[in-house]
Amino acid sequence: MNRLSETTLSTLPASVRKPSYERSKARVGIVHLGLGAFHRAHQAVMTERVLAGGDLAWGIAGVSLRSPETRDALAPQDGLYTVAVRGAEEDRFEIVGAILQSLVAPEDPEAVLALMAAPDTRIVSLTVTEKGYCHKPATGELDEAHAGIVHDLAEPARPQTAIGFLVEALDRRRRVGLAPFTVLSCDNLPSNGRTVAKVVQRFAALRDPELGAFVTDKVAFPSTMVDRIVPATTDADRALVAEALGVEDAWPVMAEPFSQWVVEDRFPAGRPAWERAGATFVGDVEPFELMKLRLLNGSHSTLAYLGYLAGHETVADAMAAPGFAELLEAMMREEITPTLPTLPGFDLAGYRAALIHRFQNPALRHRTWQIAMDGSQKLPQRLLGTIRDRLRAGQSFDRLALGVAAWMIYATGHGEHGHAIDVRDPLAQRFAAATADKRTAEALVEAYFGFPEVFGADLTHEPRFREAVTRALAGLLSIGAAHTVFEVGGH
């Protein structure tokens, strides 16, 4: 079977959406750090609409900060790839051509820096996951002891981290009198624009106070809220795409029909007309971001840990099991929604119902193990902030505590029946060592409370939090996740 490429585009079925512009005339205006599935199914698709509308100044150069896998998959395909939109009723397929170049930073950091410093580059966007910001999740501050940060301060011309690349490229532009690019974080971080601004500004100041002042005064860091469920691609997905297209695609991406992007409109160097693709530009994205982080991401993480422990491979599998949908609906309605600011004209009840429907999508095989990754980086934003608000209000948070307790069991690396769990987390080894000989709920809670980078200095000294998590953990250890969820349900 032939491979997807410029030469095979004409052979694709008429039902497949294809690039309608001359890709050879497009130029790079966006450098994207973190060339993963989410970017290719979200921002790149919206940028594809801009290019199709005739504005060819916004092609994307994608940069992988670690692995060459994505570049190696896309290069023989002329950068083209498939987005398969999978719904309960039907599948839709689109070929995206917005990514004009693919680079691998460790292979040639100078090429990446040169592209970021080029005059045509006006936006550098990021999807590097929470851990890619080299910050302390509990405080949002730069982790100055991070090995990558230490390296990049010592060797700024050969950076390893996204932060190092951003600051070196900005410094190169400053030195030649070129206006800075806008830094656009598209990761699930609270106030992601302000978070990346804080770490970039601090890193720049550590390098050179004048550079720090330049970054603080001149560089825009708009916040964003991104929302689309994009599971990891499997061989079965590749076979599905090949059958539908009649050509092979080495790395298609799967996505749900829903897609949302809310962006603060602060782009001094200009921006694509993403609103034509459905993006919403606002003055303050924080209320939307908080809603999504707590309702969608908080529920997703709770579902992932409980679902995995209960033996469910996918989100849809867990949602079909007794009690899961009821548990999440009640948690969102009773414990999370009261902590959210008012969004005039926004239907929160409808949003919650839509989330339950999205989680139940049987066509989208989103693995609980994938969502469970990097819990130490995610929990402070997704669950612990909500719990803090509930504590301040003197309100209960039993379902939220159950999510935290499920994570605690998961992060030990041992499931309910003693089977090993492949825990992917920056603190995985430390968690395993700290919990190795702990068998009771009290002992496990005490061990995890030794990680202030997760729980901060406040929650570990809050008796109501300790009591709620210990109680939830004791229940899980006693009767297991499946029975616990069934019993708790919506009660």
The pTM for the full model equals 0.86
The contacts of residue 234 (CB under 8 Å, 6+ apart) are 365
**Interatomic CA distance for residues 148 and 152, integer angstroms:** 6
pLDDT attached to residue 267 = 98
Contact 446, 382 (CB under 8 A): no
The token duo for 367 is 């693995």
Contact 4, 249 (CB under 8 A): yes
Task: Give residue 393's identity as a one-letter amino acid code.
Answer: A
pLDDT attached to residue 51 = 98
Residue 439: other Cβ atoms inside 10 A: 9
pLDDT attached to residue 490 = 54
Burial 324-340 (b: 16+ CB within 10 A, else e): bbbbbbbbbeebbbebb
Q: What is the mean pLDDT of each run of 10 residues along the chain (491 residues)?
A: 96 96 97 97 98 98 96 97 92 98 98 98 97 90 96 97 98 98 94 96 98 98 96 95 97 96 97 97 92 95 98 96 97 97 88 95 92 95 96 97 98 92 97 95 97 94 97 96 89 57
Contact 102, 71 (CB under 8 A): yes
Cα dist from 96 to 233, 307, 340, whole Å: 16, 33, 36
Residue from 376, 358, 352, 364 nearest 313 by CA: 364
The contacts of residue 9 (CB under 8 Å, 6+ apart) are 18, 19, 80, 95
* Per-residue H/E/C for the chain: CCECCHHHHHHCCCCCECCCCCHHHCCEEEEEECCCHHHHHCHHHHHHHHHHCCCCCCEEEEEECCCCHHHHHHHHHCCCEEEEEECCCCEEEEEECCEEEEEECCCCHHHHHHHHCCCCCCEEEECCCHHHHCECCCCCCECCCCHHHHHHHHCCCCCCCHHHHHHHHHHHHHHCCCCCCEEEECCCCCCHHHHHHHHHHHHHHHHCHHHHHHHHHHCCCCCEEEECCCCCCCHHHHHHHHHHHCCECCCCEEECCCCEEEEECCCCCCCCCHHHHCCEEECCCHHHHHHHHHHHHHHHHHHHHHHHHCCCCEHHHHHCCCCHHHHHHHHHHHHHHHHCCCCCCCCHHHHHHHHHHHHCCCCCCCEHHHHCCCHHHHHHHHHHHHHHHHHHCCCCCHHHHHHHHHHHHHHCCECCCCCECCCCCCCHHHHHHHHCCCCCHHHHHHHHCCCHHHHCCCHHHCHHHHHHHHHHHHHHHHHHHHHHHHHHCCC
pLDDT attached to residue 364 = 86
The token duo for 279 is 């993006």
Cα dist from 280 to 31, 105, 190, 388, whole Å: 21, 31, 18, 29
pLDDT attached to residue 358 = 94
Task: Give residue 90's identity as a one-letter amino acid code.
Answer: E
**Interatomic CA distance for residues 32 and 52, integer angstroms:** 19
Place of tokens 């150069």: 61
Judging by beta carbons within 10 Å of its beta carbon (0-12, 13-18, 19+), is residue 451 exposed, middle or buried?
Answer: middle
Instruction: Classify the C-alpha dihedral 108-111-117-122 as positive or negative.
Output: negative
Contact 208, 15 (CB under 8 A): no
Residue 392: other Cβ atoms inside 10 A: 9
The token duo for 101 is 């170049």
Contact 239, 253 (CB under 8 A): no
Place of tokens 């692995």: 67
Looking only at the bridges linking them, the beta strands covering 224-227 and 253-255 are: unpaired
pLDDT attached to residue 157 = 96
